[in-house]
Amino acid sequence: MDGDDGIFVDWLSLWQCHEQHAPINSGAIITYDGSGRAVFERYRSSRIQGSHATVCAVKSDGQTVVGSGNFGRLNRPDNLFGFDPQTVLCRANEALAFAGLPRFVSAAYSRNGGDWFKEGLRYPGAVGLVGPGSPQATPRGRLNLSRVDITRNFECGGLAAARSVIRAISGKSISRVKKGVGGDASVWWSNTRYMLKVYIKALEMEAHGTNSGAAYDYAVEHGIVRLELELKRRELADLGWSDFDAFVEAWDMGKVQQLFSDYEKVLQLGAISNHAEFLDSLPQRLRVTASAFLAGQDVRALMSRATFFRYRRALLDYGIDIADERPEQLNVAVRTVTLEPVTAPDWYWQNERAA
């Protein structure tokens, strides 16, 4: 169900033209010109609400079927580990069937149990939705891919170590890519081609209402840090992966995994401050700056002059002067945190089948 290397697909945005069929009546947004004539009409998406607050979007104007969302998460208690692209496509098709829309058709789908609906079969990880079923409609073109999220989990030995990892990575920059930081829980880089996200999985699970269970305990105990690469429309076009079948072929040949490994370089770490208890005592807005300073980074280069002195004034109350060349006033232990990729343990899929 998941890849041997622990890399899986977390999100798919797909569209495909079909023969005429009944659209979803979820309303539409219409633009009129000065004379009152309609010049543009866009159908609104319908939201497929699964269990555990998971929502995916599907829509159709009667010809073009569109689906977007984390279909691998739909109706599962968590998405700590996930599926290959073919299985996620099968899950997307079950959501389309629930909405009464034609399913996405591709060579990759046929290779991975594509007749499950027609023959009443169930593929691994089936969503379990019940609806009117997919109408018979013949696709008029290829299955187009406009966004895909590729994901991998890493362990670092505990939640405190995971926070240290995020604080250390937050000081890194990528050329011509805008960076954002969510305290010591997440950091991301984004442009018009891709978004690279690194975050602590246990904290993300808590934000979505999960703070117990075997998967949550595993994420806390092992300090799971997730690296997520979102490939957008422009990047997919340049890679030649706008066709879903081309993306699956690249996945099977290891090209997707090779690309993902290039982005994993952002996780390369040097020495990290081990003064976790002290850093956790600081206000969240000050932790990243303090951690970067204690790790020996030049924090002046990370922010504007005004921001630098604002943080300096705030951190002086806690005995840190970021204007010093090195933090001599604190005895800070230093260690090396190792991030290791992980795959789903056997009990994870056994528990999910039993759920």
Please determine, for residue 263, whether its predicted confidence score (pLDDT) is greater than 80.
yes
Tens digit of each residue's pLDDT (9 = 90 or more) over 30-71: 677 777 776 656 666 555 554 444 678 898 888 899 999 999
Q: How far apart are CA 199 and CA 206, in angstroms?
A: 12
Residue whose tokens read 């829509």: 59
Q: Residue 158 burial (CB < 10 Å; 0-12/13-18/19+)? A: middle
Percent of the chain with pLDDT over 70: 77
Lowest pLDDT segment from 165-174, 200-209, 338-347: 165-174
- What's the whole-number average pLDDT of the chain? 81
Q: How far apart are CA 89 and CA 288, in angstroms?
A: 39
Tens digit of each residue's pLDDT (9 = 90 or more) over 142-158: 999 999 999 999 999 88
pLDDT number for residue 37? 75
pLDDT number for residue 211? 87
pLDDT number for residue 5? 74
Torsion sign, CA atoms 16, 17, 19, 25: positive
C-beta separation of 200 from 191 below 8 A: no
More confident residue, 122 or 24: 24
pLDDT number for residue 216? 94
More confident residue, 326 or 178: 178
Please determine, for residue 326, whether its predicted confidence score (pLDDT) is greater than 70.
no
Q: How far apart are CA 151 and CA 201, in angstroms?
A: 12
Please determine, for residue 254, whether its predicted confidence score (pLDDT) is greater than 70.
yes
pLDDT number for residue 274? 53
Secondary structure percentages of the chain, helix, strand, coil, to 5: 35, 25, 40
- Tell me the mean pLDDT in the region 192-206: 94
pTM comes to: 0.76
pLDDT number for residue 1? 44
Q: Work out the pLDDT band at 116, boundaries 50, 70, 90.
A: very low
Please determine, for residue 299, whether its predicted confidence score (pLDDT) is greater than 60.
yes
Tens digit of each residue's pLDDT (9 = 90 or more) over 155-178: 998 888 888 888 888 878 888 889
Lowest pLDDT segment from 17-26, 73-82, 203-212, 322-331: 322-331
Please determine, for residue 317, whether its predicted confidence score (pLDDT) is greater than 70.
yes
More confident residue, 239 or 75: 239
Q: Residue 44: phi, psi to the nearest 5? A: -80, 155
Q: How far apart are CA 353 and CA 348, in angstroms?
A: 9
pLDDT number for residue 208? 81
More confident residue, 296 or 345: 345
